[in-house]
Amino acid sequence: MLKSPVELPDCCYANQPVLICPSTPTPKHSLYLSNLDDQKFLRFSIKYLYLFKKPVSSDNLKYSLSRVLVDYYPLAGRLRATAEDDQKFEVDCNGEGAVFAEAFMDITAEDFLQLSNKPNRSWRKLLYRVEALTFLDVPPLVVQVTNLRCGGMILCTAINHCLCDGIGTSQFLQAWAHITAKPNLDLPIAPLHSRHVLKPRNPPKTSFTHPGYTRTNPKDNNTIDMVKFLQSQPLVPTSLTFSASHILHLKRQCVPSLKCTTFEALASHTWRCWVKSLDMSPSLNAKLLFSVSVRKKMNPELPLGYYGNGFVLGCAQTNVKDLVTSNLYHGVKLVQQAKSTLNDEYIRSMIDLLEDKSIKTDLTTSLVISQWSKLGLEDLDFGEGKPLHMGSLTSDIYCLFLPVIGDFDAVRVLVSMPEGIVEKFEYFMKEFWDEEDNADANGNGYHGEDI
């Protein structure tokens, strides 16, 4: 059996990757992208990795992809700068197609499952690397299907974040799987392409302060930049799975009693442990930036089928001393307050703020958390069963809350930390586990609260 960390064997490509175009002609036009779509923070591809016990025929996957790209034709187009503004992006819906690569790797599904907890650099072999000069030159959708020894299949996708958010990518992948498994049935949700519902007002009207953003100032060299600090060192991924029991224990730490969600409790705990492990100055202002869907917060609500970026980053902030010396209640309250500000007027103010291209996401002393659990990503079924594993192809300094296959109420926390700090971070994250295990062993575990 393979043991983690391990270098994956090389992929064998029998053929060159192909471009999969929509199976019937699609509209040719430019697709406007909203300010939430093309902000600088999102100029990358979301890279998913799925492990399946049984393979699906590559011919079937290519055929169904060509069919679903008729409905999701912008993903077969190409990103470009607009003629009026080279900082503003749009999609050239030209039907050029998505990249589809087929490969074989000499590893079994069981082998990969053993090491699936933490990505390492060799996992990048599982997604074909498109040679491109700039981000704009990479096709919005890149797919690699890797067949494994003794059956099994790994499916990796790279989907341009400027076109879709997590909910949007899940909607697209579910549509592709649906057409593969049930080719004669209509899509359960018809995609909505237009992004004009999130256009800025004219003139723009920024009515609120938005602490998650800052103005680019190239002359300011005195600011502490946590991103540069973290990325200047060798990074090691850490992956910790929190069971329903662990999360319940966290919620019980919110004294005085405070009703909170799983996300609020786990995000606050992760933020606090991250700040503690980095030994940040007590007087620094620490921020937690976390994705919040605005689909039901807009007035009117975003229509069903909207697959563009329909989320913003909520921002909780406090000084380091208060965060690390207070109990979990303090962090949870800050997260709840940040969420409570996100109404229609506040979100439109944020969209208008992003008309100023010198504005960028403030990452200087921020932990960013993106929630991939509870999006239905783990339920993907192309006709041969749901995945044995679903996660990210890579790990970065941005933290992911991932689904746990077979345990809907559990959450896997994945983030990369500097080599010399990762053990400290894991210690703080798991500090209460022994205490909880002892309580359960003594019959004192609490099991009545709804999580």
Beta bridge partners of 168: none
Annotated catalytic residue within 71, 161, 352, 389: 161
Which residue type, as a one-letter code, is found at position 305? G
Q: How far apart are CA 238 and CA 222, in angstroms?
A: 30
Q: What is the DSSP letter of 68?
A: H
In 161-243, which ranges are continuous DSSP H helix? Answer: 166-181, 226-231
CB 70 within 8 A of CB 27: no
Q: How far apart are CA 153 and CA 147, in angstroms?
A: 5
CA-CA-CA-CA dihedral for 313, 319, 324, 330, to nearest 10: -60
Annotated catalytic residue within 92, 356, 381, 440: 381
CA atoms lying within 13 Å on the CB side of residue 184: 0
Which residue type, as a one-letter code, is found at position 147? N
Q: How far is CA 345 from CA 4, 39, 86, 201, in A?
A: 48, 19, 28, 11
Q: How far apart are CA 319 and CA 283, in angstroms?
A: 6
Which two structure tokens, joined as six digits, stand for 141?
Answer: 């959708």
Active site residue 161: yes
Q: How far apart are CA 61 and CA 443, in angstroms?
A: 51
What residues act catalytically? 161, 381
